[in-house]
Structure 1
Amino acid sequence: MKSLFYFCFFVSICLFSCSPPKESESTTDFFEINSFISLLEYDLEVIEEEIVRLGRFSENLFVDKKNKLANADPDKYEIVGVAANSEPGANPEKSSLFIPTISDNKEAVKELILLTNPLDDEFKRIVREIPVISQVYFNSKYHLNRLYPPYDVNLLEPDINVTNFNFYYQGDEKNNPSRVPVWVDEIYIDPVGRGWMITLTYPVYAENELKMVLGFDITLNDIIENYINKTSNQLLIIDGTGTVVAGKAKAIEALSLPSLKNYTYTQTITSDSYRKEDFNLFKSKDKNVRVIADKIINSGEKILWLSENKTKLKIICQKMSKLDWYVLEIQF
């Protein structure tokens, strides 16, 4: 299916390049940005399909539960304190398990570990086949976390309540009654130290009871490396609050955000010094940029102009459909 998409994509490029040069300005301006969004959203759809498939696999783990528990390997994981298979020195073939001290149903946790041990191979396969996914995991109301690749569990507070995080509650009964994949598209800092990211969640039910919420994490660095850096255009992605998700350095600086001359945006978002407010268009030191942010997010304008050093920069913008994100192209 993916090869068919690329074939159609390149055919469309050829048809466009061979057509008479009398296309409207709007069509010409938006061709590249629409192509970029189509590719990104196609890949996001593939990821959605994968988490649904993993959800179906997970649901089947609870079928014939008694028999599966009787045949499960009780020695696969050794719980030490609040963790099993924690870095450093973790077995790369297995996930890390985290059971915070607030967990008060040890029998339910033990049963869930045994039933979900087959997920290790699925988690590993997904990370291998879809490199843009940096982490695969689930969290449960019993306060059990299973995450792959394995990580240093000591990075977490031992009494942390992961059900209070958006990557859990966005998928629970209250926030996702339709039981569909949900993107947590407002960027947040990964509690296990892998930088700023977005997450796709999906709930798993058995006998109409929520057993776990699956999560796929994509870091901002992954988005930059796999999408932004593969185009020559000066692109910038902002979320619905006006915060930069990813972008080229020249595009970021053009909107009067912090200078990146001595380092890169990628280095910034993977460091402890990154602050979202520093990269929010509504907080730009340039009043005109703040006005542009308002026109994009609150008025839906798609073509804007910005004066810079006696020249005018053209900004074209298109909103994505899967995420509450806007893709901007700065034309110098």
Structure 2
Amino acid sequence: MSKSIITRIILIFILLGIIPLVWVNILYFSVEQKENENFSKESLGKLVEEKSTVLSQDLKRVEYEILHLAKLIELTFEKETTSSVYSEAGTISIYIPTPDNITQYQKTTMEKFEEITPLFATARNRLSDMGWIYFITPDNLMFLTPQSNLDSFGYDHNFENDIYYSIATPENNPGRQLLWTTPYTDWLGKGWTITCSYPVYVNDEFLGVLSADVTSKDISSILSDFRLSDSGFAFLIDSSGSVIYHPESEAISRDKGMPLSMNLITENQNKEYESILLDMANGNNDFKNYINNTDGKLHAIAYSNIDYSGWSLGIDVNWDMYKNITGANKNYLLLISFVSIFIFTIIGILLYRLISLPISKLVTHTRTITSGDYSTRIHIGSNDEIGELESAINTMTDSISEYTENMKYKTKEMEAVFNSYPQIMMKIDKDFNILLMNNKGMDIISEPSDTGKEIIGQKCYSSIFNRSDSCENCPLKNKLSSTEEITREITNGTQLHRITSYPITAKSEPVREWVVFNSNITEKYLLEKTLVQREKMAGIGQMMAGVTHELKNPLMVIKGAEHLLKLTVSESVSSKETTDEINEIFHMIDESVTRAENIISNVLDFSRKSTENEELVDINKILEQVLLIESHSMLRSSIIINTKYDNELSRIHGNRDILKQIFINLISNAVQALPKEEPRLDISTRSLGENAVEVRIADNGSGIPKDIMDKIFKPFFSTKGKEGYGLGLWIVKREMDKMGGTIKVISDDEGTEFTLIFNKREGDAHDS
């Protein structure tokens, strides 16, 4: 039967651990409690005395630097300046209320401060653990070190409203004393701050106020002490009980420049605590206990006045907690140390022999397995639970070895399939986080400096489409519980993507992850639409060519017959009046035949297949041909067409088919936007000097809404719903850009006007 290792541990712990420790603790509480209390009281008293001395010295150091720097400023301003041009030394910031209107006095002041900039830097270095040192003049100039961003003041800031300046002005400080402010919120974001301010006079004339800041963090760093731990805190009040520093003040929010206005005496409802605070305010040093109203515990306050300042420093602690921190004397510590060493030495030896050594062997073996070596087996020879664990680990090693080999093969197989996909393939969770992505996908969406690790964990819509939320047509949106394959097409700017998602399902488990295929089908889609359009145009052209060819023969017959009739009539009719009437009829026939021939010529020219290369084309003629093709639908809708062509217009270089497509797209869009009542279409051309040709196409429709004006030239953007592809204006814009031309659009509620400008090239011809 196996021996229980748990029983061994319990017996050893009881015999050699718990009993000696309980006996030592009983001895400690019966003998040391009183001595511990006296020691804690003495320790807390020395601590507050030490901190008050350090704080006093630091405050005096600030005052000394201010007085010393003030004297140097006075001496500098008493002598004539040796500099005529102000230059910033890089260590001081200057606030100027109206930088565009600097007075001569301000320039002189800045020149003087150029000389003493190093003095500011030296004083600041000696107070490196404190805040800013700055000087403010009566005309609102500020010189501050170290260099800082003063934008928070604004150009209309008045320092007379700030306590650190107003406290030392002649009106408020006629005795010209060095003064400390009460806490206020610092303008430059340092939090609660107190300031030492001193007025500077030159030849009995008020020059300004020199100040040095001490933040609450500065005071906190002085007063912090590891001996307090979490048992208490230090605070600082003045002779009226107003807070100079208190940890709770950090949570109080005030506007910049506003005072703290926190008084512990007037805001306190604990009579014992109030009595202690009054004694502190009177400048006394003592140690007293009171019951805290918040936690109901016994607290102690040791306090000491800060000499000459009228301030008092107090340290408030949870008395029981503090005694536990400081209470142990040397004999007790030695006793506990020796007993603990003895007990744990014995326990350590036993545990090492019975437990640690066998377990160490097991751990070493499992680490070997973790590293991928499944060839070794462990043998301990124990007849207890560790022996059973040894057998289980060996069996597990065999199973893991076989399973791992199978998994390696499957993993390589899946990786090959995964990375062979030529577009983006990824695995995402229900929050759209990317869990895995193939190498090609990484290459497609990564910048040169990015790595795959930066993509993993990001939102798919953020990494792929630069969006802040999920795509509108996302196949997973509102269908996260679906277990079927879903395919959607999503537009992203100028790109069209086909997104297909496959849920990763498990028995009786909700879907948590999906495999998503993302294919960019933009070029394919555009190519298909372009080919369809070209096939339509080619079909129309062939049909029109055949029809017009068949019409030519009847026209030739009519023309010949008209000529024979004219000869016959002229020989047989003698009356001049009758001859004139007949000639008028023949003239009408001639004009109609000529007009029909011109129409046929235009149709044949329109249906003629253009070359891939550019050629000299007549813009007016192409517009007439397009209007002829669109005339049937326009007549059916009673559209009024106003054309104004510049007959002196130069021919330009261009592709005939592309120009046809541009004008057809614009005219078709205009026709679709026309109102039912009095629809009107205006088309005009004109020459813009020797460099360009202008085409204007305008309608009197309802116009284009302003909120979509910047989207009309983007592919796949359409206001026609399922009836439109959103490619017409995009093709117009693309082809105009290729030709080096420009397109402008003006639209309001009375209609829309598109203006096309085609730039001429060398060799463009002028029609004769």
| Alignment TM-score, normalising by the size of structure 2 | 0.32
Aligned partners of 1:32, 1:145: CA distance in 2, in Å?
40
2:186 aligned partner:
190
Aligned with 2:118: secondary structure?
helix
Q: Which one of the candidate residues 305, 316, 327 is aligned to 1:319? A: 305
- Which structure 2 residues correspond to residues 74-223 of structure 1 after superposition, within 5 A? 74=86, 76-77=87-88, 93-101=90-98, 106-184=103-181, 186-223=182-219
The reply to whether residue 55 of structure 1 matches residue 60 of structure 2 is: no
2:472 aligned partner:
none
Native 8 Å contact 2:290 2:299 kept in 1: yes
Aligned partners of 1:147, 1:215: CA distance in 2, in Å?
9
1:237 aligned partner:
235
User: 1:144-180, CA deviations, whole angstroms, 9 ceiling, x for partnerless residues?
Assistant: 1111122222201322211232212222223334434
Q: How many residues align?
A: 275
Aligned with 1:306: secondary structure?
strand
Q: Flag the structure with more relative contact order, 1 or 2, with Cα contacts below 8 A and sequence separation at least 6.
A: 1
User: Per-residue deviation at 1:281?
Assistant: 5.9
- 1:238/1:102 CA distance change after superposition, 3 Å: farther
Aligned with 2:173: secondary structure?
coil
Aligned partners of 1:165, 1:272: CA distance in 2, in Å?
12
Aligned with 1:192: secondary structure?
coil
| Alignment TM-score, normalising by the size of structure 1 | 0.69
Q: Which amino acid aligns with 2:189?
A: G
User: Per-residue deviation at 1:301?
Assistant: 8.0
* Between structures 1 and 2, the one with greater helix share: 2
User: Per-residue deviation at 1:58?
Assistant: 0.6
Aligned partners of 1:221, 1:55: CA distance in 2, in Å?
26
The reply to whether residue 41 of structure 1 matches residue 56 of structure 2 is: yes
Native 8 Å contact 2:283 2:312 kept in 1: no
- 1:275/1:94 CA distance change after superposition, 3 Å: closer
Aligned with 2:77: secondary structure?
coil
User: 1:99-142, CA deviations, whole angstroms, 9 ceiling, x for partnerless residues?
Assistant: 22499981211110111112322222222222232101100112
- Indicate the larger mover: 115-124 or 206-215: 115-124
User: Per-residue deviation at 1:284?
Assistant: 5.0
User: 1:15-61, CA deviations, whole angstroms, 9 ceiling, x for partnerless residues?
Assistant: xxxxxxxx999977633212211121112222222111111111111
User: Per-residue deviation at 1:277?
Assistant: 6.2
Aligned partners of 2:178, 2:128: CA distance in 1, in Å?
19
Aligned partners of 1:125, 1:209: CA distance in 2, in Å?
26
Aligned partners of 1:103, 1:36: CA distance in 2, in Å?
49
Aligned with 2:156: secondary structure?
coil
Larger radius of gyration: 2
Identify unmatched segments of 5+ residues in structure 1: 1-22, 78-90, 253-257, 259-264
Identify unmatched segments of 5+ residues in structure 2: 1-37, 320-768
Native 8 Å contact 2:283 2:305 kept in 1: no
- 1:114/1:298 CA distance change after superposition, 3 Å: same
2:84 aligned partner:
72
The reply to whether residue 329 of structure 1 matches residue 327 of structure 2 is: no
Aligned partners of 2:71, 2:262: CA distance in 1, in Å?
41
- 1:197/1:307 CA distance change after superposition, 3 Å: same
Aligned with 1:125: secondary structure?
helix
RMSD: 3.7
- Indicate the larger mover: 168-177 or 201-210: 168-177
Aligned with 2:316: secondary structure?
strand
Aligned with 1:37: secondary structure?
helix
Aligned partners of 2:197, 2:125: CA distance in 1, in Å?
19
Aligned partners of 1:299, 1:97: CA distance in 2, in Å?
41
1:13 aligned partner:
none
